[in-house]
């Protein structure tokens, strides 16, 4: 069971439709799912239960998106999914990369190329 944490308002990075509770979901960057998510494949399978709980409760990992975008993203990595709104590519790439570093998760070559593409949209 996850510990509850205070909610912080975050700007939705992927779609302007995330305005009501009913239409809003939350995703993870990178996604976490036992056996199939990007974090799991990137090394989370070897984490202690405490480390998994830390990741699950990390508000920087949670990403506010509308329901459809959350379904579209699923547990796809950066090489298979990018935010539909290009103006959020930089923020998503920075967040994704920061989480990979913070939690020591591996990056595949196609994922690295996609992250470079996302980060290339950042202002100099």
Distances (CA, A) of 21 to 12, 18, 25, 32, 74: 13, 8, 8, 22, 19
CB 31 within 8 A of CB 73: yes
Give the model confidence (pLDDT) of 14-73 as tens digits.
444 434 444 445 555 555 544 448 889 899 999 999 999 999 899 888 878 888 888 888
What 8-state DSSP symbol labels residue 21? T
DSSP type of residue 86: G
Q: What is the pTM of this model?
A: 0.70
| Calpha distance 68→108 (Å, rounded) | 26
Domain boundaries, the chain: 24-119
Q: Give the pLDDT band of residue 74 (cuts 50, 70, 90).
A: confident
User: Exposed, middle or buried, 121 (CB in 10 Å: 0-12/13-18/19+)?
Assistant: middle
Share of the chain above pLDDT 70, in %: 71
Whether residue 8 is predicted with pLDDT greater than 90 in this model: the reply is: no
């Amino acid at each position: 069971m996850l510990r509850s944490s205070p909610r912080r308002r975050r700007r939705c990075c992927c779609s302007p439709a995330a305005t009501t509770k009913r239409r809003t979901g939350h995703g993870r960057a990178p996604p976490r799912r036992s056996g199939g998510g990007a974090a799991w494949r990137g090394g989370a399978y070897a984490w202690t239960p405490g480390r998994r709980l830390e990741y699950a409760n990390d508000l920087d990992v949670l990403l506010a998106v509308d329901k459809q975008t959350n379904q579209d993203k699923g547990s796809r990595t950066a090489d298979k999914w990018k935010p539909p709104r290009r103006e959020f590519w930089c923020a998503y790439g920075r967040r994704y990369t920061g989480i990979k570093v913070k939690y020591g998760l591996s990056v595949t070559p196609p994922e690295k190329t996609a992250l470079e593409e996302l980060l290339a949209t950042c202002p100099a």
